[in-house]
């Protein structure tokens, strides 16, 4: 079930006030359910402004219809489509840049643009020959008028009468009874159930055209009243002979709310958005440490650690040496990541056919790349140490070590420490087991 609308405007069409006329019609499926032809409240200085005002009115009508359908339990699977034959108005719905000619329609501009950005409204171009809303705004040729009138579901209803037409001089068409059949018995109130009446069009002699067969009009009535006139029940849907909406180019009808369907499983655009958001959050949770190292410099991490460890200096903890060691280790982590990435790119660029290699050849390839990784890491470490010496670092290499005397700990403390260590190790092993 698709909800769509056609919007158009007649710029400065009123000869007295030079105000523009807004016209639009909305369709539910192929049935026209509402239409508007109304003069705009202000004068528009450009045709784009007039078209966009009509655009905003049609968008508001679509939003209201969506809420009405939701209240009665009908939910649309696809966002509504708003068709317009003005390319400037369509570009304004997608272009976030504010235009100088649109200052007078700022509210309408932001309203439609937010609807398009949120995905609750889709705007598409329709040629002028298929713009149904033109029937509300401007004078049309006879063939376009008849075509658009049929697409709106409007046609002349017959006026049948059981007595026919008594005065042919004042009628352009006389209705006569061809056949009346009844499937139910008459009641005391003279109501006939399920009557099928066939009416034949009889034109006056002066307007009869030779070679033309009179139209056969068929009217069905469920009940006949006491006055003998059948009730006229106009159907809300057009007849099968009336064409529906115009065929649009394939480039304009490629939007689909349902992306993929595999049996009972359906992948929709909302499901894809939820899945992508959940995967991003999961990746951030499990890779938060790597993301922190990738987005934060080692100096910032070392400074933050030093700020938290400053109170420990009072008990003799070498905070400066620990921070320096941490900064160097963090630099080495980035070096390891870079070397592994370079090796992986080298393997991909060589396009090695692993299926044709034997086991020993595969092991030899991996061993050569592992040797290259460690060689590059050690060379980078040597360069870092040389840079520190050049910058004047002459600290004692053992100054950061902490020595604990054997008499400073008791047997009970050692036992408790061992129990804690065993508990932490067991928890780590069990967590890995359950996660796998």
Two structure tokens written together for 270: 């909302």
CA distance 316 to 403: 11
Cα 23 to Cα 129, 143, 263, 426, distances in angstroms: 16, 20, 43, 74
Print pLDDT tens along the chain (436 aa).
Answer: 789 999 988 888 887 888 888 899 999 888 888 888 888 888 887 888 888 888 888 888 999 998 888 888 888 888 899 888 888 777 777 665 555 555 556 666 667 777 787 777 888 888 888 888 888 887 888 888 888 888 887 766 666 555 554 444 444 333 333 333 333 333 333 333 333 333 334 444 444 433 333 333 333 333 334 444 444 444 444 455 444 445 545 544 556 677 888 888 888 888 888 888 888 888 777 666 666 766 777 677 777 777 777 777 778 777 777 777 766 666 666 677 777 777 778 777 777 777 788 888 888 888 888 888 778 777 777 777 677 666 655 555 555 455 555 555 566 766 777 787 777 777 766 665 554 4
3-state helix, strand, coil in the chain (%, to 5): 50, 15, 35
Distance in angstroms (rounded) separating the CA atoms of residues 397 and 60: 74
How far is it, in rounded angstroms, from Cα 364 to Cα 356?
14
Nearest-angstrom CA–CA distance, 147 and 128: 13
CA pair distance 30, 34, nearest whole angstrom: 12
Strand duo 122-125 + 81-84: pairing? parallel
The label of the residue with tokens 């359908």 reads 69
Q: Two tokens at 80?
A: 């509504």
Edge to edge, the sheet with strand 193-202 lists 174-182, 193-202, 216-223
């Amino acid at each position: 079930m698709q909800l769509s609308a056609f919007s158009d405007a007649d710029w400065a069409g009123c000869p007295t006030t030079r105000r523009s006329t807004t016209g639009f019609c909305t369709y539910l499926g192929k049935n026209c359910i509402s239409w508007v032809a109304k003069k705009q409240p202000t004068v528009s200085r450009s045709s784009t402004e007039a078209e966009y005002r009509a655009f905003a009115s049609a968008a508001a009508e679509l939003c209201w219809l969506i809420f009405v359908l939701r209240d009665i339990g009908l939910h649309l699977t696809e966002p509504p489509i708003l068709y317009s034959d003005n390319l400037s108005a369509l570009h304004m719905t997608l272009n976030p840049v504010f235009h100088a000619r649109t200052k007078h329609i700022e509210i309408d501009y932001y309203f439609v643009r937010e609807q398009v950005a949120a995905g609750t409204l889709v705007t598409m171009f329709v040629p002028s020959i298929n713009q149904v809303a033109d029937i509300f705004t401007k004078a049309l040729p006879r063939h376009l008028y008849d075509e658009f009138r049929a697409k709106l579901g409007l046609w002349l209803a017959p006026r049948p009468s059981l007595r026919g037409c008594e005065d042919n001089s004042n009628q352009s068409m006389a209705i006569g009874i061809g056949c009346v059949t009844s499937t139910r018995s008459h009641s005391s109130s003279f109501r006939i159930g399920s009557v099928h009446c066939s009416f034949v069009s009889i034109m006056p002699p002066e307007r009869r055209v030779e070679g033309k067969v009179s139209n056969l009009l068929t009217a069905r009535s469920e009940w006949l009243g006491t006055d003998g006139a059948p009730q006229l029940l106009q159907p809300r849907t057009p007849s099968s002979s009336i064409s529906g909406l115009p065929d649009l180019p394939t480039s304009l009808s490629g939007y689909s709310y349902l992306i993929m369907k595999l049996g009972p499983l359906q992948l929709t655009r909302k499901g894809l958005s939820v899945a992508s958001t959940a995967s991003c959050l999961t990746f951030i949770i499990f890779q938060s440490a790597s993301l922190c190292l990738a987005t934060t410099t080692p100096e910032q991490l070392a400074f933050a650690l030093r700020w938290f460890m400053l109170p420990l200096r009072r008990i003799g903890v070498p905070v400066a040496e620990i921070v320096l060691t941490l900064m160097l280790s963090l630099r080495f982590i980035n070096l390891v990541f870079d070397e592994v990435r370079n090796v992986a790119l080298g393997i991909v660029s060589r396009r090695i056919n692993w299926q044709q290699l034997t086991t020993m050849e595969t092991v030899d390839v991996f061993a050569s790349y592992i040797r290259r990784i460690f060689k590059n890491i050690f060379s980078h470490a040597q360069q870092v140490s040389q840079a520190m010496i050049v910058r004047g670092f002459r600290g004692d290499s053992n100054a950061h070590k902490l020595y604990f005397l054997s008499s400073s700990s008791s047997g009970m403390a050692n036992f408790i420490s061992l129990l804690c260590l065993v508990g932490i190790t067991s928890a780590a092993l069990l967590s890995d087991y359950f996660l796998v």
